[in-house]
Every structure is written in C-alpha cells, then in structure tokens.
C-alpha cells in the first residue's frame, strides 16, 4: 500500500466502498509563512520506516510525495524542500536518540 492509499484510503482493502482515512493536517513554516500540509506526519513515518536519512534527495522525494495531496506552486519547491527536510530532521533525530 502506497502513501497515497494510506492518506486517501485504499477503497479496495475494506468491505465498504466508501471508507476513507483521516489524514493529519499540520502547520509548518515554509519560507516564513505558516502553511497547512496534509499527510506530512504519515509521510515522515513512512520515510523513516524505509530507512531514509534526512538529506537533499529525501527532501526532493518528500516534495514529490506531498505534492500529490498539497498544492505546491511552481518555483516554490525549494522552500518546501527546506521546510520538509527540517521537519524530517527533527522527526529522525527524535527517533534515533
């Protein structure tokens, strides 16, 4: 099951045709502004489970993954990458101490 299915609910995995999952919405600082990001906590958990370390390539992957559920304007990807990496760095450090 992919992150998208976890966020939006995999309708094929349950007996009910209309089951959906509740997705977390968290406010983070992106370029000095508070922005609500859907599915951030779920993405961080999944990346950690996969053993990904907080580095530039992981930031790029987070942007691509979270773009599926959030609007990220063209040209703003780098700001989001920095913000997502900062969140993942905190998440990663809290779980590896």
Q: What is the DSSP string of 21-58?
A: PPPPEEEEEETTEEEEEETHHHHHHHHHHTT--SSHHH
pTM score, two decimals? 0.77
Partners of 29 in the β-ladder:
34
Residue 26: which pLDDT band, with cuts at 50, 70 and 90?
very high
The answer on pLDDT for 97 being more than 80 is yes
For range 6-18, the mean pLDDT: 50
Report whether pLDDT(8) > 60. no
> Is the per-residue pLDDT at 4 higher than 70?
no
Give pLDDT, residue 23: 75
**Rounded mean pLDDT, 17-37:** 83
Q: What is the pLDDT of residue 13?
A: 45
pLDDT at 2: 62
């Amino acid at each position: 099951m992919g992150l998208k299915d976890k966020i939006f609910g995999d309708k094929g995995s349950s007996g009910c045709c209309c089951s959906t999952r509740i997705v977390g919405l968290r406010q983070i600082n992106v370029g000095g502004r508070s922005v609500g990001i859907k599915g951030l906590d779920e993405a961080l958990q999944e990346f950690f489970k996969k053993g990904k370390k907080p580095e530039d390539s992981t930031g790029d992957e987070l942007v691509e993954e979270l773009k599926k559920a959030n609007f990220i304007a063209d040209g703003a990807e780098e700001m989001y990458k920095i913000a997502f990496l900062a969140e993942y760095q905190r998440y990663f450090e809290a779980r590896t101490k």
